[in-house]
Structure 1
Amino acid sequence: MKPMSKRLHNIAIGMLIAFLITALHLTFWSAIERDALRARADNPRRLEDERAIVRGSIVDRNSVALARSEPSVRLPSGRMAQRRVYPQPSAFSVTGYYSLIYGSSGAEFAFDRALRGAEHMDLWSAVLNEALNRPPRGADLRLTVDAHLQAIAAAAFGDRRGAAVLLEVPSGAIWALYSAPLYDPNTLDADWERLRNDPNAPLLNRALQGVYQPGSALQLIIYAAMLANPALQPSDLASATAPLSLDGAVVPCLAESPLPLESLQSALARSCPSLFAEFAVQYPAEVQEKIEAFGLLSLPRLNGYPMAAEPRFRPLQALSEPAERLREGVGQGSLTVTPLQMALVASGIANYGNIVAPYIAEALRAPDSEQWTPVPRSQLERAAITREAAEQLRAAMREATLSGAAQAARLPELPPEVTLYAHLGLAFSGARQDGWLIGFVDLPDGRALAAAVLVESVAEAQTAARIGGQLLAAAARRALQN
């Protein structure tokens, strides 16, 4: 019997060793190398796991749903595959898209880790989910945008191309961020090739990634340079209303008037290019300093949203040819800006010289929690001009809405309790001309709402004024209601 007992003993030891090896092997792949294994492109479990994630919802400042996950089909594991639903068409430029095939953009990209549950998932939760065959759940995200204002922007733009950004001053909260034309992320996978090849570039978020020449919107910056250097201000206004010739094109004042100009303020209010272009030619260093002070040579950050490429701009004082400086002086040179940058210019004037720090993400809520946790944000303002200069810019922009180039922005629906300030600009891009409206409204409680609107391929710059006026009026009414 002894040999038999010894054999059984050896078999038992062998089985125990095999069991331990198997256990160690399973532990290695399920714990130590779990993430690496799942990350392999040839692992079908990776795709199934991704399809089963219940991404958190995205809501606007009033808890209106902008994106949510809904169950679709049952997976081999028994879990339900989730599909992403976007119920607010006018908010697509805010939410972006999420696709298993094509990745993500917008808020879906910027807050991917939180929305998929990776930020709050600890080891115990991961093990428990695995044991119970339970899919991960992501956090909900509340944005600062207002779905109602997004719809107003969509209606105002119609089938035009362009972008609009509207933010609160001094908080920096973005109330509207709109890019046109829109696309439907609900059908993104099926539409991808068509969207990618569309010459209108609907996948481009023009509000953040579209780069445009500022054209006569740059007059705001040059006027600020004039105000900072009183001794350099032109005194002869006789030719200020004369059209400017540039590369074969004629650039007139955007507000024609038989009356002569009486001040530099009126030249800005009428959006007359000659004086400002000549100042840039004569005093490039002073203009360059204000271009930098207003942040036009660096892109702002917005909660991790994808932005345009960093601008490439030769310093004005490095340009030896007067013709080159002239192009820059009328905003038709190498300087390009995004609508968000120009909205921040408006915020600096509205905020009496200090440019606000923009943000679009307000709070996150963990799964199975009722508590919203604020998203950390910068509260630092950037000084661009003095309070006195801001007050003079405000006066010129107010004049523009009363008797100057931006009168079309002053609409009957603007609440009487608020005051409108605006500047109208026109930029030429080849055979195309784009309209700019840079403006803000002062609210009775001391806040302001600042906006920039860019409309591509306009027949007249006043198109941008009317769209900007509609958005600012609607936002003012919204602010007074709340």
Structure 2
Amino acid sequence: MSKRLQNIAIGMLIAFLITALHLTFWSAIERDALRARADNPRRLEDERAIVRGSIVDRNGVALARSEPSVRLPSGRMAQRRVYPQPSAFSVTGYYSLIYGSSGAEFAFDRALRGAEHMDLWSAVLNEALNRPPRGADLRLTVDAHLQAIAAAAFGDRRGAAVLLEVPSGAIWALYSAPLYDPNTLDADWERLRNDPNAPLLNRALQGVYQPGSALQLIIYAAMLANPALQPSDLASATAPLSLDGAVVPCLAESPLPLESLQSALARSCPSLFAEFAVQYPAEVQEKIEAFGLLSLPRLNGYPMAAEPRFRPLQALSEPAERLREGVGQGSLTVTPLQMALVASGIANYGNIVAPYIAEALRAPDSEQWTPVPRSQLERAAITREAAEQLRAAMREATLSGAAQAARLPELPPEVTLYAHLGLAFSGARQDGWLIGFVDLPDGRALAAAVLVESVAEAQTAARIGGQLLAAAARRALQN
């Protein structure tokens, strides 16, 4: 071979090696980075072809699934996400190629898209066969039937409801109103984003509200922990409280005088509790912290509200500021999930349960469900004796106090209802709270918090909470 041909051959070999190295670099080493580039059309096609796993409720009812839609240039089928139960949107969230994801679609995105169980061999095989990745199925603890009950109870009102099982912490219902339809999210996005009713906000987890007279539960717990500090003069306990030009009365009017602090809580009378917070801020602060109101709970990676900003009661030098905090109208804000956990602590005789909403995952082509690990443990908030006294007050509230509207005829006779009614003021708006639970015959309980925005009367929250607790109790007895 002539020198000239040798040089040509060597040059071609070097060019081939450079090309091979370049292809190896981009197809193997930088494969994921290349596909992740926003200007890579293959990325969008790959994303559209992923068969995301289904999301089902505790009974196997489909909450979200993928269905084939159109054929892509690669020959694979594009998938569209379908949500058969729109009332469960606050649980499932949404998945959009344009606007991202929320809820379970966000928290379990890697599992649902197949990234968690995808090994190198599976990836190579999928590529060779032009086969799209398949994600794992996700089973949640919620009950689609209870989600629909909550939707019917709220109607066109704004608010949220959380219901969970005690002592397991499994969330049976997590509802936010107003609803939107995640099936038409892309088309409706601008309208939803600009809607003053904020339907995209998951109020159950991200809505922050003043607790108002729902905070009386916490202050009563502080009173029980400090018997020597409890007020003995109940003569003015039923007197309305004046606050910033507003008059805050007892939520249950009665011509009979109060005979105990328990009855003051049962009637949701603000004066005694507000005055206690003014006089003993450190004791109230301790119980606010013990019930977890100064830190947001975790829930399987779901997006939560921003961490609360709260000025410690001891740091407030003005009695008027302490008074606002004492009636739940100060800097303290809470989410419905937090208040549901308060209810769980009372139902669980002093121990607040660890909430969870994801039960198990099932790999593609498998029949076996693998439990989702749970790392949180229940924590003590109050003593068993204090919980029993709180339970007695909440029971009285349903029989002759402020929460009687929650005791509905459809409540099964085998269960016992406990509840506290609260009212909070937000400017010209007033919001209703129902914090309650039912004891089941088998030793379990179902605890709930319901928040209804812009109510004419707090009893609206009591009726909605009563409907949800009654329906959940019936489901528990059936199963």
Tell me the TM-score range normalised by the shorter chain. Answer: over 0.9
- Counterpart CA distance in 2 for 1:392 and 1:378 is 31
Tell me whether 288-297 or 33-42 shows the greater mean CA deviation.
Answer: 33-42
Shift of 1:10: 5.4
Summarize deviations over 1:45-77 as a string: whole Å, max 9, x none: 111111111111000000100000111111111
Summarize deviations over 1:183-241 as a string: whole Å, max 9, x none: 11111111111000000000000000000000000000000000000000000000000
Q: Work out which of the residue numbers 312, 317, 336 in structure 1 matches 2:314.
A: 317
- Counterpart CA distance in 1 for 2:317 and 2:245 is 21
TM-score (norm 1): 0.98
Answer yes or no: is 1:408 the counterpart of 2:405: yes
Tell me whether 43-52 or 169-178 shows the greater mean CA deviation.
Answer: 43-52
Shift of 1:131: 1.2
Summarize deviations over 1:250-273 as a string: whole Å, max 9, x none: 100000000000000000000000
Summarize deviations over 1:14-47 as a string: whole Å, max 9, x none: 4444333322221111000101111111111111
Three-state SS of the structure 2 residue aligned to 1:12 is helix
Shift of 1:13: 4.7
Summarize deviations over 1:390-448 as a string: whole Å, max 9, x none: 00000000000000000000001101110000000000000000000000000011000
Answer yes or no: is 1:9 the counterpart of 2:6: yes
Answer yes or no: is 1:95 the counterpart of 2:114: no
Three-state SS of the structure 1 residue aligned to 2:242 is strand
- Counterpart CA distance in 2 for 1:95 and 1:267 is 40
Partner of 1:120: 117
Partner of 2:33: 36
Summarize deviations over 1:118-168 as a string: whole Å, max 9, x none: 111111111111111111111100000000000000000000000000000
Partner of 1:254: 251
- Counterpart CA distance in 2 for 1:147 and 1:310 is 30
Shift of 1:311: 0.3
Summarize deviations over 1:310-368 as a string: whole Å, max 9, x none: 00000001101110000000000000000000000000000000000000000001111
Tell me whether 374-383 or 248-257 shows the greater mean CA deviation.
Answer: 374-383
- Counterpart CA distance in 1 for 2:328 and 2:80 is 45
Tell me whether 10-19 or 296-305 shows the greater mean CA deviation.
Answer: 10-19
- Counterpart CA distance in 1 for 2:316 and 2:468 is 39
- Identity in percent: 100
Paired residues, number: 479
- Counterpart CA distance in 1 for 2:192 and 2:107 is 22
Tell me whether 30-39 or 171-180 shows the greater mean CA deviation.
Answer: 30-39
- Counterpart CA distance in 2 for 1:13 and 1:416 is 91
- Counterpart CA distance in 2 for 1:16 and 1:52 is 38
Three-state SS of the structure 1 residue aligned to 2:2 is helix
- Counterpart CA distance in 2 for 1:248 and 1:9 is 98
- Counterpart CA distance in 2 for 1:444 and 1:368 is 39
Answer yes or no: is 1:428 the counterpart of 2:429: no
| Stretches (4+) displaced over 6 A | none
Three-state SS of the structure 1 residue aligned to 2:27 is helix
- Counterpart CA distance in 2 for 1:322 and 1:379 is 38
Shift of 1:378: 2.6
- Counterpart CA distance in 2 for 1:12 and 1:360 is 65
Q: Work out which of the residue numbers 37, 47, 52 in structure 1 matches 2:49.
A: 52
- Counterpart CA distance in 2 for 1:450 and 1:8 is 85
Partner of 1:352: 349
Tell me whether 109-118 or 126-135 shows the greater mean CA deviation.
Answer: 126-135
Shift of 1:379: 4.7
Partner of 2:155: 158
Structure 2 unpaired stretches of 5+? none
Three-state SS of the structure 2 residue aligned to 1:314 is coil
Shift of 1:5: 6.7
Shift of 1:9: 5.7
Answer yes or no: is 1:419 the counterpart of 2:392: no
- Counterpart CA distance in 1 for 2:5 and 2:121 is 40
Shift of 1:450: 0.2
Shift of 1:467: 0.2
Shift of 1:7: 5.9
Shift of 1:6: 6.4
- Counterpart CA distance in 2 for 1:330 and 1:53 is 52
- Counterpart CA distance in 2 for 1:117 and 1:16 is 40
- Counterpart CA distance in 1 for 2:134 and 2:86 is 25
Shift of 1:87: 0.5
Partner of 2:260: 263
Q: CA RMSD in A?
A: 1.1
Three-state SS of the structure 1 residue aligned to 2:425 is strand
Q: Work out which of the residue numbers 371, 377, 382 in structure 2 matches 1:380.
A: 377
Tell me whether 300-309 or 120-129 shows the greater mean CA deviation.
Answer: 120-129
TM-score (norm 2): 0.99
